[in-house]
Structure 1
Amino acid sequence: MLEPRIHFTLSFTEPQAHYMDVEMDLFDFTETTLDIAMPVWTPGSYLIREYERHVENVEAFSESDRVSCMKISKNIWRIAQPSRHTKIRYRIYGFEISVRTNMINADRAFINPAATFMHVKNCIDLSCMVKIVLPKRWHHISTGLPKNTDHEHTFYAEDFDILYDSPLEIGNQEIWHFDAAGVQHEFAMVGGGNYNKQQLTADITKIVDEETKIWGENPNTNYVFITHNYQTGGGGLEHLNSTVLGASRNAYKAPNSYKNFLCLVAHEYFHLWNVKRLRPKELGPFDYSEENYTTGLWIMEGFTSYYDNLIIRRCGFFSVQEYLDMLANDFNQVYNRPGYRVQSAALASFDAWIKHYRPDENSANTSISYYNKGAMLAVALDLHILTETRGIKRLDNVLRAAYQTFYKKENRGFEEKEFQSLAEIVTGVDLSAIFYAAHSTEELDYNVYFNRVGYELVDLNHDTQELSLGIKIANQEGRILIKNVERNSSAWDAGLNVDDELIAINGNRLDLAGKELEFILQHGQIDEIVDVLVSRDGLVRTIHAPLRRSIKQQWSIREKLDATAAEKELGNLWLSI
């Protein structure tokens, strides 16, 4: 009996209109009906994106004639009476700038496979071939998929999990290659820019080597960096042996922007191990038709967010102070969102599907980022292990052991309790308080950990007398509008609303530069009642609001003046001094 086979062909008859054409050839399927499904999300980006909304003109043909093709749900088409060779044709519209969606134009195409390729339902484990028909003016294809040497511009995927994790950049991108950690790397630069290839190659080689040292091996034979350069760009998405990055094309020569790009590279490359291989059990094998919930993104993304800046420090690109400032920013991001009292890191992970990618005007009051909070918990773990073992072990040792145990030996995802248990066995350190904190809104005293390595976390605004209404405003078409109201602030209690237009305070009309509001806040008194004249849905009213002390926090990490020699030694070890 012949094994079922699937071949895809991508062509571009109208790329200027942002369309590509997809042919899906099914060979040797014996079922009387076949259900063909498209993913509704893409791994690494935890949001139902409804990729099927960009699909048009789905048709099916046998060797001799058209066959019935009926849409039976939002992302599934049913093929009736398929033959030994059934061809399915459809078109995809792609015109969205991001690292997780298709972008097609006259010059190039970025293909996110989850937004492009359908699979036969319940046949995710089948292999497939992908052939690219290049338009005449396009010359390059960059992807982590292995080439089929028997056919030009044709690639092979062992199964659909690999296919959906292997983006393609097609066009005229600048390409160069380099070796790092024994792995062949390709850099594909799209959109031009003022980057220096030699410097990028040297610096990224350091990052690859440093990260490989942590994990003990580099599991790839090849790796592809696809970078999209725009006037203003950012973001990244990890894949099994590639990544897609967003950058600003003319920012490479600005030192801070360049270091931030290196941090992005370090972050996405770290995912090569942490999430793509070492992962919670819920994150693979995937169900591409619905949400895949996990409470573990604070480990996957949070630990990676801790290590990205730390790697840049270890490589010598950040000074000690630059690194400490970046780490302090995680604390500022969390503690200046009242939502940290509402949502734990674990709950933020679980709710990523409904909250993280869908912020609204109240998000700061109800949620936190598992990236930032996870990084805070990661530094607590790292410093706790470092100090309890007197510098012999640290979080690096935990990650390597978990990678070896769960991925290499057992080839499965982990339960969080298993991860904690392994970490405690490897280090001999009780880590329960920190893991408990990941599931609680009770905050750790982080100075318990910083102080033991000769540093302290300080809120520079602790004694400030600055006043605030607890609102964020924006100028919009000549009007001053409230865009955010902080939980438990003066504005919150008084009843000021998002989208209220601020007209005057205490009888003084507000200017667009905000000088009148600034004057009131600088010269007012705590608990002084101010009269705020607003227009709400076209109706003018006065809101009486008390002035209160600003609760904005400004955290800094600095050396502890009375640190002992032993604490300083551990701090130097932590910071690679």
Structure 2
Amino acid sequence: MKYLISLFFIAIMTTSLSAQNKIAFEVSFSEPQAHYVDVAMEISGLKGAYVDLKMPVWTPGSYLIREFAKNVESFEAFSTTGSALNAGKINKNTWRVNTQNNGRIKVTYRVYSFEISVRTSFVDESHAFLSPTGIFMYPDGQLNSASTITIIPYKNWTKISTGLELTGSKANTFIAPDFDVLYDSPFEIGNQDVFEFDAAGVKHEVAMYGGGNYDKEILKRDMTKIVVEQTKTFGVNPNKRYVFIVHNFNSGGGGLEHLNSTVLGASRNSYNTEAGRLRFLGLVSHEYFHLWNVKRLRPIALGPFNYDEENYTTNLWIAEGFTAYYQDIYTKRAGLQSPERYVMNLANSISLVENQPGNRVDPVSQASFDAWIKQYRPNENSANSTISYYSKGALIALIMDLEIINSTAGKSGLDEVMKAMYDEYFVKKSKGYTDAEFKAMTEKIAGKSFDAMYADYINGVKTIDYNKYLNYAGLTLIDDAAAGNDAYLGAITSLKDGKIVVTNISRQSPAWTGGLNVNDEILAMDDQRINNVSDPRLSEVEKFIANKRAGDKIRVLVNRDGRLMNIDIVLVRNPNHKFRIAAIETANPSQIAVRKRWLKIN
């Protein structure tokens, strides 16, 4: 992808417009209450008997084929005189227009937009959020073409927030130097609450939709701290302007990175709690760090993009996992959370990964490659068969960071690896990196081989020796559940239509080996009726198991597809971990030095 520093200089973009086919979009909203976007597309400079117009099937940063073309309706094409041109689909995401040798044509279509997420478009009478990959078509083979986008807001809508720059020649008209940039520039249109702050030499716009109990001045202060800390790592901020589009819902979350903007989901009434504030700032930190890691420093498969199909990489554990690691590192460095809280959350993250059976089945590199079929399509067996490249990748970043700091006596850490990779592959070579190149740079800075780490923890499923790395920093990982003897079934249930139904079976658990199935309705245990009472703290099944001991045999009566079955199960000791990280009282000066370098504390 072409991420030029001169991206937003109007003169350069105007030149690129004149050198290629001229493309102009006009976006309006005749029926926002019905969730439609009206798109008109004019193309001039055409040659030949036809042109194929394509809509992407996925959006960068979200690795799933979403088939955006399914939302397109009423596709029509016209000549400059207004006469209809023959047009129709030739495959799932391509429309062929018979131009009749017209050099200029107009195409109109509508897009149904009613999916709330950071990666899909949503329109109603209050606002429009446009995720460009699901709105704008491109002429086949013309991804390099520039375009203008004119927004006609609905009735009383008064504001447009986007990372694109205005042309200056027409109201509400923006310019994109190519389709990669257009597809990386979402729009928020309506009456959003907009405020600004300057940080690291960059003007930042925050566009808040949906209201909320946020304090603008506090957000400005805290977001500034994150921007400043992240910019320190790379020594440069690649933008002159950046836009946060924030959608506040009753219960919201998630984010998607873009070239000079991001879209965040948040819970509107959680800003005034410590947990809610840190959750939002962690999301800000995560998506902002993507400015460097992914949007510029990227695995080689992630750009230039093929918008027609999957773009496979084994390195999402770096692209997303390292970003997940740094999101909390930076909130700590910015003073938004204490080192103690950071370490406590780190221990919880280790528990989360190590308690997932799929962690012992699926290497994190393979989980990255399979993101297209697994990450966004979890089922009842996902926890048994795969691991998140976000959470496991963050732990790989942790042990790499500690290994580098220790091996270089504090001279370098993962920060230095990320900056060196950015300088070498984005700034100098303008290309993505291979897995081997990232490993080689890590080894160069650490001054040692990472063969074993890659073989065991990245391309393998060996349990991470956390204490090896934490001990470098005078810390130790303690499992508070190790001495317990609680009984364990290994089944998760939920209340569905008044029935207690099994929703998950943990691999190699008593429920797994005993033959309990997902979708079984549990009626009784040891001839005791299990009441369908919903308790958010403890289910009726969990209450029953809590009164048992490891080694006890129980009989479970289930309804399986209308048939009553008794299943005998022998309970075992609960294998799940509950980790915490503690300081080693006898830590030596070298260990203390590593800890201070890692946590950036005096």
More divergent stretch after superposition (564-573 vs 257-266):
564-573
2: CA distance, partners of 1:7 / 1:455: 59
- The 5-angstrom pairing of residues 309-458 of structure 1 reads 309-436=328-455, 437-458=457-478
Partner of 2:96: 78
1:526: Cα distance to partner? 2.7
* Equivalent residue pairs, number: 577
1:3: Cα distance to partner? 3.5
Partner of 2:439, secondary structure, is helix
1:96: Cα distance to partner? 1.0
Aligned match for 2:199, one of 161, 180, 205: 180
Partner of 1:533: 557
1:457: Cα distance to partner? 1.6
Identity %: 46
Partner of 2:444, secondary structure, is helix
1:81: Cα distance to partner? 2.6
2: CA distance, partners of 1:345 / 1:418: 18
Match of 2:76, as an amino acid?
E
| 1:289 partnered with 2:314 | no
Partner of 1:48: 65
1: CA distance, partners of 2:251 / 2:29: 27
| 1:469 partnered with 2:489 | yes
Partner of 1:275: 294
Structure-2 change in CA distance of 1:522 and 1:15 (3 Å)? closer
Kept in 2: contact 1:2–1:28 (CA 8 A):
no
1:429: Cα distance to partner? 3.0
Kept in 2: contact 1:68–1:80 (CA 8 A):
yes
Runs of 4+ in structure 1 deviating by more than 6 angstroms, as ranges, are none
More divergent stretch after superposition (415-424 vs 358-367):
415-424
Structure-2 change in CA distance of 1:171 and 1:516 (3 Å)? closer
Cα RMSD of the aligned pairs, angstroms, is 1.3
Structure-2 change in CA distance of 1:188 and 1:7 (3 Å)? same
Kept in 2: contact 1:309–1:326 (CA 8 A):
no
1:478: Cα distance to partner? 1.8
Scaled by the length of structure 2, the TM-score of the pair is 0.94
| 1:34 partnered with 2:54 | no
Kept in 1: contact 2:20–2:146 (CA 8 A):
no
1:392: Cα distance to partner? 0.9
Kept in 2: contact 1:194–1:249 (CA 8 A):
yes
More divergent stretch after superposition (470-479 vs 426-435):
426-435
More divergent stretch after superposition (119-128 vs 513-522):
513-522
1:333: Cα distance to partner? 2.0
1: CA distance, partners of 2:596 / 2:326: 17
1: CA distance, partners of 2:540 / 2:282: 40
Aligned match for 1:150, one of 157, 169, 186: 169
- The 5-angstrom pairing of residues 112-127 of structure 1 reads 112-127=131-146
Partner of 1:485: 505
1:576: Cα distance to partner? 2.2
1: CA distance, partners of 2:349 / 2:450: 21
Partner of 1:576: 600
Kept in 2: contact 1:340–1:368 (CA 8 A):
yes
2: CA distance, partners of 1:569 / 1:522: 44
Aligned match for 2:548, one of 515, 524, 534: 524
Partner of 2:420, secondary structure, is helix
Aligned match for 1:506, one of 509, 517, 526: 526
1: CA distance, partners of 2:48 / 2:478: 66
**Structure 1 unaligned blocks of 5 or more:** none
1:169: Cα distance to partner? 0.2
Kept in 2: contact 1:42–1:114 (CA 8 A):
yes
**Structure 2 unaligned blocks of 5 or more:** 1-17
1: CA distance, partners of 2:46 / 2:398: 52
Partner of 2:87: 69
2: CA distance, partners of 1:79 / 1:525: 71
Match of 1:174, as an amino acid?
D
Aligned match for 2:226, one of 190, 202, 207: 207
2: CA distance, partners of 1:157 / 1:66: 28
Match of 2:95, as an amino acid?
W
1: CA distance, partners of 2:192 / 2:543: 53
Kept in 2: contact 1:229–1:249 (CA 8 A):
yes
Scaled by the length of structure 1, the TM-score of the pair is 0.98
2: CA distance, partners of 1:222 / 1:560: 45
1:516: Cα distance to partner? 6.0
Kept in 1: contact 2:486–2:550 (CA 8 A):
no
